[in-house]
Amino acid sequence: MSALVFRKQADEIMEDIEDNGGNRRKRQAFVDENYPKTIWSNGMTYAFWNSSKPEGDRVMVVESVGCWSHIGRIGGQQLLSLGAGCEHIGIAVHEIGHALGLFHTQSRHDRDQFITLYENNIQSGWASQFVRQTENTNYNYNITYDYGTVMHYGATSSSANGQPFMIPRDVLFLPTLGSHFLSFYEKLMVNLHYKCLASYGSATSKSTSEKTSRPQPSSKKTRRTTPQSSSSTTPQPTQMPKKGCKDRILCTLLEKFDFCEYSQYQLKYKQKLCPGLCAKQ
């Protein structure tokens, strides 16, 4: 199975995201010196590297017609196309997501709980991009549906008449559909799927499920921790979350992987996401 996007469609996707979710670009507070090479590897324990060896499972990026990739590992050499019009970083990140096993977010088996699809507004030839998966083909590791993922289409990106072809159940999320950037939930899902959730730079062997189907969504940018200079002054105590703050359901899952111990995230952001769980840090 592959996901195919042609140049006109790719342009429409990026224009739609820029129009409807342009404010998302303001949220990226930090870009490291190796960006965009580190987009998929930051916060992960797997890595990508160039290989000239003819054997083994690998992804070959080619300049073919359109932007497309197989979904998940198919064995041996598999192609990923970034043709004319596919040069945008967000599109490359999107296609790599497919190669790692991610379906379009709007194709999750539970998508009808979060969006309403208006098929009459979808352009001819685009229906395959919105096929809803089943629980047998799409396991999401109990991770919530995320409207603002790089794997999610915008509301009008393949519209036949300029009208939205999908609307969130909570319409306030309409302007946030889709993103240029990889989300926290997407990275979390891929880490869980490949059983390599990062913790102090080493992989964990813990498993959350016996199912072996492909992943879907994972928003929190990975930030570099700035080294503190040595000083004789007494450090100020970390401000603790206010009483009454409740953890999200996701925190129950993150607790199993020692989320609050992660060195890759600053304490204040861990406490913001899971105030109850990380308050004792």
Rounded distance between C-alpha atoms, residue 73 and residue 193, angstroms: 12
Phi, psi (rounded to 5 degrees) for 16: -65, -40
Host H or E run for residue 202? strand 202-203
Rounded distance between C-alpha atoms, residue 157 and residue 129, angstroms: 11
Q: What is the dihedral of CA 29, 31, 36, 40, to 10 degrees?
A: -70
- Give the three-class secondary structure for 56: coil
104 is an annotated ligand-binding site residue:
yes
Rounded distance between C-alpha atoms, residue 186 and residue 39, angstroms: 12
**Tokens linked to 212:** 């072996």
Rounded distance between C-alpha atoms, residue 143 and residue 119, angstroms: 26
- Residue 12 designated active-site: no
The terminus-to-terminus CA distance of the chain in angstroms comes to 45
Strand partners, 80: 61, 69
Contact 95, 82 (CB under 8 A): yes
Catalytic site residue from 33, 55, 95, 135: 95
Q: Give the annotated binding-site residues for Zn(2+).
A: 94, 98, 104
Q: Which residues are the active-site residues?
A: 95
